[in-house]
Amino acid sequence: MDEAARRRWSAIAHHDRAFASPLDTSRFAALVGQLDLQPLPYSVDFGCGKGEALRTVVREAGGTGTGIDRSAEMLAGADSLNGAITFVEADARTWLPDRPADLAICIGSTHIFGDGAAAAAALAGLVRPGGVVLIGDGYWRDEPPPSRLEEFGMRADELVELATLVEGIERAGLTPVAVQPSTLVEWDDYEWSLIRSVERWARQHPSDPDREAFLGQTRLMRDSYLQWRREFFGFALVAGVAAGS
């Protein structure tokens, strides 16, 4: 699939999801409450999707935020919380905030910058001294079978171990203060919600030109998850604090 088709597939697959990642809303809210954010923080979210991370931050800590995403389909469902959040359809690689942020977020979109370490380095330059960077990225729970990777169209070096993911935060000049891996319950809920959404859409749109390609992609993901990804894939939120006060 080309990039436009991938964005459309993702919007369909994540129709029922608050987060486009294997995250539980209540666990994420609890993590936000543990971060040392100043009162009424200004937050930015790169690859924000529907904006649930920003809405959670604003609900928990107040303040305002800006969400950036290239997908008009995702942003179409974004709620600004009565104007507290501004959403921008733009390339997150080149968009810059007009002032240092108190919290910079990139969850499930670190590929925008290259990988988790590169995303941490980019966001570290956008927060104030003492500000927080929150990265959400995949990692290997165990070394994946090469044959399975090839079947799925992945390379072993596309992800790293959890400890290496945290080290990327440190190399960006940030002090790690929280690590929250997704549980298998969160993974199961995430994967099967995507499958249900695409299968439902396919039943409702029998003549859509993308129908067969989207079903094929979704069933490949389903089979790979059942056969090996459930055992080897991980996802974690990692928070780091910038130097200064």
Q: Domain locations in the chain?
A: 19-183+232-240
Q: Give backbone dihedrals phi and psi of 18, rounded to 5 degrees, phi first.
A: -70, -45
Asked whether the predicted pLDDT for residue 244 surpasses 90, the reply is no
What was the pLDDT predicted at 152?
A: 86
Structure token pair of residue 235: 């996802």
Instruction: Tell me which residue of 73, 77, 131, 144 sits closest to 104, measured CA to CA.
Output: 131
> Quick one: what percent of the chain has pLDDT higher than 70?
100
When the pLDDT of each residue in the chain is averaged and rounded to a whole number, the result is 94
Using the predicted structure, report yes or no on whether residue 134 has a pLDDT greater than 80: yes
pLDDT at 245: 64
pLDDT for 32 beyond 90: yes
First vs last C-alpha separation in the chain: 46
Q: Per CATH, the architecture of 19-183+232-240 is what?
A: 3-Layer(aba) Sandwich (3.40)
So what's the pLDDT on residue 84? 95
Return the DSSP state at 145.
P
Kindly report the pTM of this predicted structure. 0.93
pLDDT of residue 151: 86
Cα–Cα distance, 85 to 233 (Å, whole number) = 32
Residue 79 in this model has a pLDDT that exceeds 90: no
pLDDT at residue 44 is higher than 70: yes
Query: Which of 143-147, 162-166, 169-173 shows the lowest per-residue confidence on average (mean pLDDT)?
Result: 143-147
How sure is the predictor about 230, in pLDDT bands with cuts at 50, 70 and 90? very high
Let me know: does 224 contact 151? Beta carbons within 8 Å.
Answer: yes
Model confidence band, residue 72 (pLDDT cutoffs 50, 70, 90): confident
